[in-house]
Amino acid sequence: MDLRSLSVHEAHFGRLPVVDGPRIGKPGSLVHELEKSGLRGRGGGWFPTARKVHAVVESAAARRAWSAGRKPVVIANAMEGEPASSKDAILLRHNPHLVLDGVTALAATLGAEKAYIAIHRGSPIIDVVTRALADRNDPVTIELVTPPARYVSSEESALSHWIGDGVGTPVFGKRPFERGVNDRPTAVQNAETMAHIGLIARFGGEWFASVGEPTAPGTCLVSVSGVVNSPGVIEVAVGTPVSEIINRCNGFSGESSGFLTGGYGGAWVSQDSLMAAHWSPDSVAAAGGVIGAGILWALDARTCPLHEVARVAHWMAGESAGQCGPCRFGLPSLADDLDVIAGKHAQMSDVHRLNARLPLVQMRGGCKHPDGTARFIGTAMHVFQAEVAHHLRGHCCATTSGTALPIAGMRPSPVGFPGKDFK
Ligand SMILES: Cc1cc2nc3c(=O)[nH]c(=O)nc-3n(C[C@H](O)[C@H](O)[C@H](O)COP(=O)(O)O)c2cc1C
Ligand code: SF4
C-alpha cells in the first residue's frame, strides 16, 4: 500500500473531517478531542498539545491580533536535528499526508492563515513532501521551508526566527506561542505530533487514549540503534517495556556498555536500569534517562564510551549558535576536559574540573542546548564511572578504535563569530 498517494491515504484512513475554527478567543472544537486524548508533543519535551493550542489562541486574542489581521501561524517541525533520530523522516517518507492532515486540522482550529513544514536543507524527504503538497488542496496554504541543517536551528524560536527573518538562531525570551513568526502567535509541533493530530481529528481523543499510559496516552515512534539485530523505527504504545522494544528489534547483536536515551540532548542510563523500565516519560526518568524525541541507542561495548562522549560533546559545541556564554565558552571547555579524561593521562583533578564546570552551563543559555549537552556529559560520567577509573589508571577497555555514534560533519566552536552560517 503506497500511502504517499493521497487517494490511497484517504481510502485507508478516511477523509480528514472539516475542522471548525476559533470563536471569541477560544480554539475550535478539535481542542476538546486533544484534551480528551491527553496528547503530549513528541518533539522532545512531551508538552501537552491542547495546552499549547489554548495558549496560542489566548495570546492572539489578548493582543487583539485578530482585528490587526495578525492571525496565528502553524509550523510542523520535521527538522529532526538529533543525528540518532530517524522517526520523522521515516514517517514523512511513508505517510506524508497524515502529517499534513495534522497541520491542516491544527491550522483550522487555531484560525491560522499560514502554515509551514520545516525540513532541514538537503534532506532526502524534501522531494516526497513536495510531491504530497502538490496533490493536496488544503484550505490553508502549507509552505515547505528548508532551514539550515544545524542542531539548534530546529529549536522552536530558531525556526520562527528563520521563517520570519531568515536567520536560524534561537531568540532569547521570545516564546513562539506569544511571539513567533513575524511576532505572530505560533504553534510549533513536531511532525509525529502532527500525525497524531491528524488521527485524533478523525477518530477522537478517547480512541487515542485507549492505549498508552494515563499520564502519557497513545503510541509513539522510537528510533532504536546500536547493538541490536534489527535497528530502525518502531511504533509502540507508550509504557511498553524496554525489554519488549529490544525483542521487537530481534534482540542484542553484541554487548552494550550503556544506553543513550533521548539523543545528544538526552541522558545515558545503565543497561540494567533501562531494561527494567517502561518506555514512558515517567518510567524512563525514574531510571535516570529521558525519553525526549524517542531515541534509544545501545552503545557498542567495543568502543570507548568516553571517547564517544568527547566526540559528540565537541560536535554539540560546534553546533551551538555561539550567542550565550555557556555555549561560547562552557561547551568547548567541557569537550576539552572530556578529551583529557578519554586519553591515557587523565588525573582525578581533570574529573573534578569537569564536574565543577557542568552546573555552570545549566539554566544559563538562551535555549536548552547547553542544558541538554551538560546532561549528556554528566550522565555519561556516572554511567561510565568504571571506564573513567580505568582511564585514571592509564588503561582503556575499548577493543576497537572505530566509532559508533553518528555526527554530521564537525564544525569549530563558534567563539568569535556567533550566529555565523545560520542563514
Ligand atoms: C536545541 C534544540 C533542538 C531541538 N530540535 C528539535 C527537532 O529537531 N525537532 C523537534 O520536533 N523539536 C526539536 N526541539 C524542540 C522544539 O523546540 C519544540 O519544543 C518542539 O518542536 C515542539 O513540538 P512538540 O510539542 O510537538 O513536541 C528542539 C529543542 C532544542 C532546545
Ligand atoms: S544557549 Fe547556545 S544555542 Fe541556545 S541561544 Fe544561546 S548560544 Fe544559542
Same domain for 321 and 188?
A: no
- 67 pLDDT more than 60: no
Which residue from 367, 415, 422 has its CB within 8 A of the most atoms of ligand 2, so it is best to mutate? 367
Which residue from 154, 174, 320 has its CB within 8 A of the most atoms of ligand 2, so it is best to mutate? 320
Rg (CA), the chain: 22
Q: Is the CB of 194 within 6 Å of ligand 1?
A: no
For range 391-404, the mean pLDDT: 91
Q: Is the CB of 44 within 6 Å of ligand 1?
A: yes
At a CB cut-off of 8 Å and minimum separation 6, what does 195 contact? 91, 95, 98, 99, 101, 102
Same domain for 112 and 141?
A: yes
Same domain for 82 and 193?
A: yes
What's the burial of 194, exposed, middle or buried (CB within 10 Å: 0-12/13-18/19+)? buried
pLDDT of residue 62: 84
SS3 string, 290-302, reads CCCCCEEEEEECC
Nearest bound ligand to CA 422?
Answer: 2
For range 194-222, the mean pLDDT: 98
Same domain for 20 and 94?
A: yes
Same domain for 70 and 165?
A: yes
CA-327 nearest atom, ligand 2: 2
Q: pLDDT tens, 320-360?
A: 999 999 999 999 999 999 999 999 899 999 999 999 999 99
Percent of the chain with pLDDT over 70: 96
pLDDT grade, residue 65 (50/70/90)? low
- 63 pLDDT more than 80: no
* Residue 173 falls inside a structural domain: yes
Same domain for 97 and 83?
A: yes
Q: Which of 279, 300, 321 is the last residue of a domain?
A: 300
pLDDT of residue 139: 95
Q: pLDDT tens, 222-272?
A: 999 999 999 999 999 999 999 999 999 999 999 999 999 999 999 999 999
Instruction: Check which CATH number belongs to the domain holding 281 and give it.
Output: 3.10.20.600
Most confident of 22-31, 170-179, 271-280: 271-280
- Alpha-carbon gap, residue 339 to 313, rounded angstroms: 10
* Residue 400 falls inside a structural domain: no
Question: Which residues sit with their C-beta closer than 6 Å to ligand 2?
Answer: 152, 170, 320-324, 326-327, 365-367, 369-370
Using the mean position of ligand 2's atoms as its centre, give its distance from the Cα of residue 336 in Å: 19
- Alpha-carbon gap, residue 262 to 347, rounded angstroms: 30
Length reported for the chain: 423
Same domain for 16 and 115?
A: yes
Instruction: Check which CATH number belongs to the domain holding 173 and give it.
Output: 3.40.50.11540
* Residue 406 falls inside a structural domain: no
Total domains in the fold of the chain: 3
Domain span at residue 334? 305-392
For range 376-394, the mean pLDDT: 97
Nearest bound ligand to CA 194?
Answer: 1
Same domain for 116 and 34?
A: yes
Q: Which of 282, 300, 318 is the last residue of a domain?
A: 300
* pTM for this model (two decimals): 0.97
To which residue does cell 495570546 refer? 59
Helix, coil or strand: residue 386: helix
For range 41-69, the mean pLDDT: 86
Q: Is the CB of 156 within 6 Å of ligand 1?
A: yes
- 90 pLDDT more than 90: yes
Same domain for 16 and 130?
A: yes
Same domain for 203 and 232?
A: no
Which residue from 151, 152, 411 has its CB within 8 A of the most atoms of ligand 2, so it is best to mutate? 152
